[in-house]
């Protein structure tokens, strides 16, 4: 995958310059010292010369001659001092570095095509992107996105499912070639509109059914142990068509799955191949299979029962109707056939810590990635699962806290995004093959940077979940305790 270079300096509005780093450093935050704390009053080195007698002029002339002998005049010295000051004021920040007194992080806007931070009514653990009718492969700005999310406020009986419309998402990066109309858009704020549906208990996870032609259905895992299915169709319509009538009895979901009893869970996934097929996994290690039809839903009485601890995530196969994967805090990844509930087809001990999330590559269906509680994420070749004790084809230990979300790019088979509890969202291109020099590449700060690492996004606290927008190439949405980000980088 080609990477866009950014070797030229970019002029900022205040007249200063931001250094544009190469692609493997793009997206990491800039570390800027507070000039008020670091810089005192300038003293004129020649101020007193005019008050001295003419005898000092000879000394000045002698100093000037010495400078000439050294091959450097005063102006050149001042220019070098200015360059040193600039280097001290602006330097690359790598995650984990301590900030000195008076320093603060600033996003390098030159590496973002678009970057927006939206404050929400309450933090949510999970969200999903709704398919819309605005077209595929959209590259025009301002952009628009529709999102379904669920609040998670502890101790509150009634939380909410939010159906949101994010509009006026304009480009935040500008070039000299951009017209005045695009430049004026920088002064306009993005718009967040929403509709609210009451939800009993915290929303642990939200997933939207991929097939949304007739109804826009979304499933939510509640802390009460119930899985609710909501019809979002009228709520989405009301965001686009003023005067749309909303359901009067919107306190009840369209359908509810009761099979898990009072055992809550987080694992949830809809089939991409068969509309209405839903998997749900709970903290007791049980997985249930539900079929949703226009008349309601039917859940199989017998669960898939093999995990020895909580089921953390589920993924349907992108190519085989009856195959899915599960991961658990029992440190295993399992591949199942829905026609055999008694035993999984394959079991792999994938980590020495809890396995929090998995993602199945839709473009290269033999690749599965898993994110672990020790900050490691691994990529597995399912074709090797037939042997004894298969090993991952790639493993990365960049994050220094549990992996919270992982997702393959919808169209670039070698690219995936990962978020962690260390406030980082990273993007990786696994097609980059390191040579001898790159494999041992270490920054001046002593941090080894993997050549496959494309981008590091920061600025959010405790990132919970991320998703690519399938209709806006390269656009990523992420939720955290500090808000909701929508961004697109120059790297992807």
Taking only the tens of pLDDT, the chain with its 492 residues reads 333 333 333 332 333 322 232 333 333 333 333 333 333 332 333 344 434 444 454 455 555 555 544 444 545 555 555 555 544 566 777 777 777 887 777 888 899 999 999 888 788 999 999 999 999 999 999 999 999 999 999 877 789 999 999 999 999 987 555 555 555 555 678 999 999 999 999 999 999 999 987 899 999 999 999 999 999 999 999 999 988 888 887 778 999 999 999 999 999 999 999 999 999 999 999 999 999 998 899 999 999 999 999 999 999 999 999 999 999 999 999 999 999 999 999 999 999 999 999 999 999 999 999 999 999 999 999 999 887 789 999 999 999 999 999 999 999 999 999 999 999 999 999 999 876 555 546 665 567 889 999 999 999 999 999 999 999 999 999 999 989 999 999 999
Q: Give exposure, 260-294, as e/b (b: 16+ Cβ within 10 Å).
A: beeebbbbbbbbbeebbbbbbbbbbbbbbbbebee
Give domain status of residue 196, yes or no. yes
Does some domain include residue 245?
A: yes
Confirm whether 157 is domain-assigned: yes
- Residue 316 domain-assigned? no
For residue 388, the model assigns a pLDDT of 79
Count of domains observed in the chain: 1
- Residue 52 in domain: no
**Distance, CA of 286 to CA of 307 (rounded, Å):** 7
Query: Does any domain span residue 438?
Result: no
Domain coverage including residue 126: 115-175+187-259
At 87, list the tokens: 């280097």
Assigned domain for 58 exists: no
Model pLDDT, residue 8? 36
Does residue 344 lie within any of the structural domains? no
pLDDT of residue 192: 93
């Amino acid at each position: 995958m080609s990477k866009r270079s950014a070797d030229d300096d970019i002029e900022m509005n205040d007249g200063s310059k931001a250094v544009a780093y190469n692609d493997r450093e793009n997206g990491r935050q800039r570390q800027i010292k507070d000039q008020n704390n670091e810089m005192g009053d300038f003293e004129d080195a020649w101020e007193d010369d005019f008050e001295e007698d003419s005898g000092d002029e000879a000394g000045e002339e002698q100093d000037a001659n010495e400078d000439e002998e050294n091959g450097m005049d005063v102006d050149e010295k001042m220019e070098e001092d200015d360059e040193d000051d600039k280097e001290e004021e602006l330097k690359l920040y790598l995650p984990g570095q301590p900030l000195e007194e008076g320093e603060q992080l600033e996003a390098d806007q030159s590496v973002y095509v678009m970057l927006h931070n939206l404050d929400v009514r309450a933090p949510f653990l999970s969200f999903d992107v709704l398919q819309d009718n605005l077209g595929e492969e959209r590259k025009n700005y301002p952009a628009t996105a529709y999102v379904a999310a669920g609040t998670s406020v502890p101790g509150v009986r009634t939380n909410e499912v939010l159906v949101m419309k994010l509009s006026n998402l304009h480009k935040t990066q500008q070039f000299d070639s951009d017209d005045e109309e695009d430049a004026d858009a920088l002064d306009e704020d993005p718009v967040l509109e929403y509709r609210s549906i009451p939800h009993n208990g915290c929303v642990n996870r939200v997933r939207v059914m991929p097939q949304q032609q007739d109804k826009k259905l979304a499933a939510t895992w509640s802390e009460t142990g119930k899985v609710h299915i909501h019809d979002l169709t009228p709520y989405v319509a009301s965001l686009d068509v003023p005067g749309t009538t909303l359901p009067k009895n919107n306190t009840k979901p369209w359908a509810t799955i009761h099979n898990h009893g009072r055992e809550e869970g987080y694992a949830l996934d809809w089939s991409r191949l068969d509309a209405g097929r839903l998997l749900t996994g709970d903290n007791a290690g049980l997985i249930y299979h539900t079929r949703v039809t226009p008349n309601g839903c039917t859940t199989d009485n017998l669960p898939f029962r093999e995990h020895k601890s909580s089921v953390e995530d589920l993924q349907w196969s992108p190519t085989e109707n009856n195959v899915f994967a599960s991961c658990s805090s029992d440190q295993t990844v399992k591949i199942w056939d829905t026609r055999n509930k008694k035993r999984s087809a394959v079991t792999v001990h994938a980590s020495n810590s809890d396995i929090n999330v998995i993602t199945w590559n839709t473009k290269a269906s033999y690749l599965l990635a898993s994110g672990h509680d020790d900050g490691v994420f691994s990529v597995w070749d399912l074709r090797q699962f037939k042997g004894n004790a298969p090993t991952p084809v790639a493993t990365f230990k960049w994050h220094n806290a549990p992996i919270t979300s992982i997702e393959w790019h919808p169209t670039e088979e070698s690219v995936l995004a990962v978020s962690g509890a260390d406030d980082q969202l990273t993007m990786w291109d696994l097609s980059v093959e390191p040579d001898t020099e790159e494999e041992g590449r270490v920054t001046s700060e002593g941090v080894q940077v993997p050549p496959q690492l494309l981008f590091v996004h920061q600025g959010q606290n405790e990132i919970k979940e991320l998703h690519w927008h399938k209709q806006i190439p390269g656009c990523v949405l992420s939720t955290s305790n500090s808000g909701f980000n929508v961004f697109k980088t120059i790297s992807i």
